[in-house]
Structure 1
């Protein structure tokens, strides 16, 4: 588990081309399957929480990059508003998509469906964080 968290942390401190691949939901579930069912759920809860922290950090970094962007103030303001809007819409998409992903568990018990949802949340949070980091990476600062 620590290896995946460390890999995700490195993604945002190194150039994206050199970064290790983002953990996918299947890989997260496989890693956590080393534990009992309760431990597996706890592991996935931890990954979802860790990915939320990574996403929050990427959002803050993107906002800070926009604040330093050497561009006309009206474009900076517009970009900041759109960043906030895209963040809200991402959360709506993530929740809807992960509900769909969990539904693919069919008649599995609720805990198994929740573990599928948690793995999906973690993967999408990590992906969104990478997208934000990449989006502002080349902005010229003032």
Structure 2
């Protein structure tokens, strides 16, 4: 209820939340294309760097979401419940990402060398960025104490 009142107040005052939509989340395809100027080994290294970047973005988004929940102006029982659900969601996402990216690699079919790993890495980077964006959108407008 507090969140609804907070948003209504912002809109009544003609204000908008500080959150601005992030740049489009990179897709597997755009990530592979961005690294496509390299040889297959170089492409793999480029995608490893993209995965590392995406992992950092995801960790930061998880920390920010956790911090926003800790400072959320809501009854403690709801704050604690949301924290438990965030932890469960984070764990479920890790399982989903592993399984989905295994599928992405399998869709490379009979490819050899680094090709299957390239598909898996692009998938992991995309999903990490997607999850980071999702967490930010879910928590950015929580009213803080």
TM above 0.5, one fold?
yes
When you count helix as a share of all residues, which structure comes out higher?
1
Give me the whole-angstrom Cα distance separating, in 1, the residues matched to 2:112 and 2:50. 21
1:1-142 to 2 correspondences below 5 Å: 15-16=20-21, 19-142=22-145
RMSD, matched Cα: 1.2
Q: Deviations over 1:11-53 (max 9, x none)?
A: xx9511xx32111110100110111111100000000111000
Between 1 and 2, higher relative CO (CA 8 Å, sep ≥ 6) is seen in 2
Indicate if the aligned counterparts of 2:58 and 2:129 stay in contact, CA closer than 8 A: yes
Structure 2-normalised TM-score?
0.85
Structure 1-normalised TM-score?
0.87
Q: Which has the greater radius of gyration?
A: 2
| Alpha carbons of structure 1 residues 74 and 110: separation in structure 2 relative to 1, 3 Å | farther
Give me the whole-angstrom Cα distance separating, in 1, the residues matched to 2:87 and 2:37. 38
Structure 1 segments, 4+ long, off by >6 Å, are: none
Question: What is the deviation of 1:95?
Answer: 0.5
